[in-house]
A and B are shown apart, each in its own frame.
Chain A
Amino acid sequence: MTGFWRTTTCLALMSELSLFAAGCQREVRPFQELAVASARTQNQSPFQKNAYGTAEGKRLFDQYNCSGCHAHGGGGMGPALMDDKWIYGSEPANIFESIVEGRPNGMPAWRNKIPDQQVWELVAYVQSMIGQESIDVLPSRSDHMRYSTPENARRAQTPVQTHTP
């Protein structure tokens, strides 16, 4: 189900069955289980299904100048991240690798520059750009100039591995 339809369904449920709305896709915050160091080998982001980590990733995406190259997902000097074309893979481990090791066509290596925990927050945010998260975790409207549909109102896309941007 796409993010858009999930929102609609959820809103409909909330309005019609407001008594039961509390049970509607509630965010999970596994604070005690952030096994950051081992996450990479398990191909899981410790911040999956974690709204706080994803929102932090969105903040860090600007702070570490990711947005300088990838803009807010539309791309620029670097490729777009909000579309379905993924050059180096869309799995959490692939994205982690792209950030930490860099990629040959211009993505710098951030090893020893960004702590692993923050890299995983960035991974969670990058996945959220194409709606690869549940609606309650996806970030909503930015505090900045409106530049795109908020992440939680985008239709989820299925990433495709491709070598052309």
Chain B
Amino acid sequence: MRPARDYASTRFSPLDQITPQNVRQLAVKSTFSTGVLHGHEAAPIVVHNTMYIVTPWPNYVYALDLSKDGAPVKWKYEPKPLSAAQGVACCDVVNRGVVYADGAIFLNTLDNRTIALDATSGKEKWVTKLGDVNKGETITMAPLVVKDKVLVGNSGGELGVRGWLTALDSRTGTIAWRAYSTGPDKDVLIGPRFKPFYASDRGGDLGIHTWPADAWRNGGGTVWGWISYDPQLNLVYYGTSNPGPWNHEQRPGDNKWTAGVFARDADTGEAVWFYQMSPHDLWDYDGVNEPVLADLAIGGRTRKVMMRADRNGYVYVIDRTNGEVLSADPFVPITSTKGIDLKSGRPIENEELEPALGKVMRNVCPASPGGKDWQPTAYSTHTGLYYIPSNNLCMDYEGVEANYIAGTPFVGANVRMYAGPGGNRGEFIAWDPVARKKVWSIKENFPVWSGVAVTVSDVAFYGTMDGWFKAVNAKTGEELWKSKVGSGIVGQPVTYKGPDGKQYVAILAGVGGWSGAIVAGGLDPRDATAALGFVNAMPDLPQATTSGGMLYIFGLP
């Protein structure tokens, strides 16, 4: 139904046919070439014996009939997005998935349209244009449908875009409300219900006053990540991106409401609370990572929490009723900050590393893609563990002058990244959110840029950028099975019950995204700053994999 499986974004499946004992028998049951190169970050979704997949630009949508041998195409939809949109997509022309609700498939295109398709026929029901590529806006995120609203956010935090979350009527496509991430309270939908936990988030029009004059208009805070929903509290949760430009000297202040997480009323969009992980972000630590909702026994009582493995390198456990941070612990090596002060909720910055114009700060960890980027985590209520696909990257960073020119990058930093301590660029981590510690982990050569799916039978699936699709024991971390696919994996694994009653696992291979830009864009590693510095950490990726989108469906004999 949706990439995260449930509204709590657990990516935890109750299916149990595939077990640690029989997972070695998994074999390819079907494959399908998407006909598109570039990074395939989307999750396939399965509804009524049909699998729906969306490709990177040009955002083809395929409906595959799982009830027939070989899963033939039922229909294909081509939204024909503007070619020019490719030039304003910061980190490859990706799309993170479609969503199903009430007989319709909802799709976001790179050129800022949200489209509803009839799930049976693939015919357009409505199309709504939400943004403008000439201002640098794109849409890459997967929408979420809550009751009668489709929630969509924009991308473009590297292009001086002003971020927003928009709710559309799922039947007609008309805009119900839009909540900006910067600017006056009326634009941010901050009103009498807004009760942030920490004092620094209280006050009038902070979305203006925590910026130099008018800087909020190009201040980022885009909403390109994941949205979760708690039906009991009727709140939606999502994070906002880095402020723009990256060069922090051009935007003194806390830069509300960027690099933080909002809780909003699901019907009206009114803000209920906000917590800023990275006030006055220095390092491109977007706050867009998925809020994973769970009820945990903490301090002798059950707390309704949100877990977030943030770009800044900390796993946060936050009370989702009010935005209080219960704990924040590092899951990757961190030099940029010295911890989170739980009294104020603010990170303790490492002042020695504070970037300045023309000065090179060295060994800043985590690097800009963070301890974890968009690639979603999973939470198993069976093991009680939180599974984090992570990056182990550090960087050298030099602040340079950023000029705002609409539709072009607004960054102001020279960055070169490299492997963090240990030399492994990624790690698949099982984290205990109650005991606040790593339980086990698997070191990976490349950043783990794929999502995770975990089952009640304690099998966790993820993929690597050199094209291995892996199953591991969710309790112990023992590698149980792996299969080599045609291209590196930056997608999201899913598991589902097929029309024959059997459990299957599916993944889109197709390397790309920010981490895979060196392959997807044919970039040149002789320039350490290519792809905002990521290429410097990945010069060997072109030897390890080639591009090409391909769906793989695995099953037991």
| Contact indicator B524/A83 (Cβ below 8 Å) | yes
Closest to B517 in A: A76
Tell me if A58 is interfacial: C-beta within 8 Å of chain B.
no
A20–B532 Cα distance when bound, in Å, is 45
Closest to A148 in B: B527
What 0/1 readout, one digit per residue, does chain B (514-542) give for beta carbons within 8 Å of chain A? 00010001111111111110010000000
Q: Which of B2-10, B46-54, B409-417 contacts A (4 or more CB under 8 A)?
A: B409-417
A113–B403 Cα distance when bound, in Å, is 14
* A residues 85-128 in Cβ contact with B at 8 Å: 85, 104-108, 113
**Minimum Cβ distance to chain B for residue A92 (Å):** 22
With contacts A107-B87, A165-B521 known, is A71 near B531, CB below 8 A? yes
| Contact indicator A74/B522 (Cβ below 8 Å) | no
Tell me if A73 is interfacial: C-beta within 8 Å of chain B.
yes
**Minimum Cβ distance to chain A for residue B225 (Å):** 19
Q: Which of B23-31, B78-86, B280-288, B336-344 contacts A (4 or more CB under 8 A)?
A: B78-86
With contacts A80-B527, A104-B83, A147-B529 known, is A68 near B409, CB below 8 A? yes
| Contact indicator A65/B405 (Cβ below 8 Å) | yes
Closest to A69 in B: B409
| Contact indicator A147/B400 (Cβ below 8 Å) | no
| Contact indicator B398/A71 (Cβ below 8 Å) | no
Closest to A66 in B: B408
What 0/1 readout, one digit per residue, does chain A (131-165) give for beta carbons within 8 Å of chain B? 00000000000011111110000000000000011
| Contact indicator B90/A75 (Cβ below 8 Å) | no
| Contact indicator A105/B87 (Cβ below 8 Å) | yes
Specify which of A62, A75, A145 is in contact with B521 (CB 8 Å cutoff). A75
| Contact indicator B408/A69 (Cβ below 8 Å) | yes
**Minimum Cβ distance to chain B for residue A2 (Å):** 15
A76–B14 Cα distance when bound, in Å, is 41
**Minimum Cβ distance to chain B for residue A6 (Å):** 19
Tell me if B73 is interfacial: C-beta within 8 Å of chain A.
no
Residues of the B chain whose Cβ atoms lie less than 8 Å from the Cβ of A147: 414, 416, 527-529
| Contact indicator A63/B403 (Cβ below 8 Å) | yes
Closest to A113 in B: B405
With contacts A62-B400, A106-B87, A107-B87 known, is A75 near B524, CB below 8 A? yes
* A residues 25-82 in Cβ contact with B at 8 Å: 62-65, 67-69, 71-80, 82
| Contact indicator A144/B414 (Cβ below 8 Å) | yes
A164–B523 Cα distance when bound, in Å, is 11
| Contact indicator A74/B523 (Cβ below 8 Å) | yes
Specify which of B90, B527, B529 is in contact with A77 (CB 8 Å cutoff). B90
| Contact indicator A71/B85 (Cβ below 8 Å) | no
| Contact indicator B416/A80 (Cβ below 8 Å) | no
| Contact indicator B531/A75 (Cβ below 8 Å) | yes
**Minimum Cβ distance to chain A for residue B444 (Å):** 24
Majority DSSP secondary structure for residues of B touching A: loop
Specify which of B158, B400, B535 is in contact with A74 (CB 8 Å cutoff). B535
Most buried by B among A64, A146, A164: A146
With contacts A71-B531, A78-B87, A108-B408 known, is A145 near B523, CB below 8 A? no
Specify which of B84, B91, B403 is in contact with A106 (CB 8 Å cutoff). B84
With contacts A104-B83, A106-B87, A145-B416 known, is A76 near B400, CB below 8 A? no
**Minimum Cβ distance to chain B for residue A102 (Å):** 8
| Contact indicator B87/A108 (Cβ below 8 Å) | yes
| Contact indicator B400/A144 (Cβ below 8 Å) | yes
| Contact indicator B408/A68 (Cβ below 8 Å) | yes
With contacts A107-B87, A165-B522 known, is A76 near B405, CB below 8 A? no
| Contact indicator B411/A68 (Cβ below 8 Å) | yes
* B residues 180-201 in Cβ contact with A at 8 Å: none
| Contact indicator B524/A82 (Cβ below 8 Å) | yes
Closest to A143 in B: B358
A71–B528 Cα distance when bound, in Å, is 9
Specify which of A77, A105, A165 is in contact with B409 (CB 8 Å cutoff). A77
What 0/1 readout, one digit per residue, does chain B (413-435) give for beta carbons within 8 Å of chain A? 01010000000000000000000
Closest to B90 in A: A77
| Contact indicator A72/B527 (Cβ below 8 Å) | yes
Kindly list 8 other residue pairs between chains A and B, CB separation below 8 angstroms, not including A65-B410, A72-B414.
Answer: A65-B403, A71-B532, A72-B529, A74-B526, A74-B530, A105-B87, A106-B85, A147-B414
What are 5 A-B pairs with beta-carbon distances under 8 A? A65-B410, A68-B408, A73-B526, A77-B91, A108-B84
A-side residues, CB < 8 A to B, are 62-65, 67-69, 71-80, 82-83, 85, 104-108, 113, 143-149, 164-165
A-B pairs, top 3 by smallest CB distance, nearest first, are A106-B87, A68-B409, A74-B527
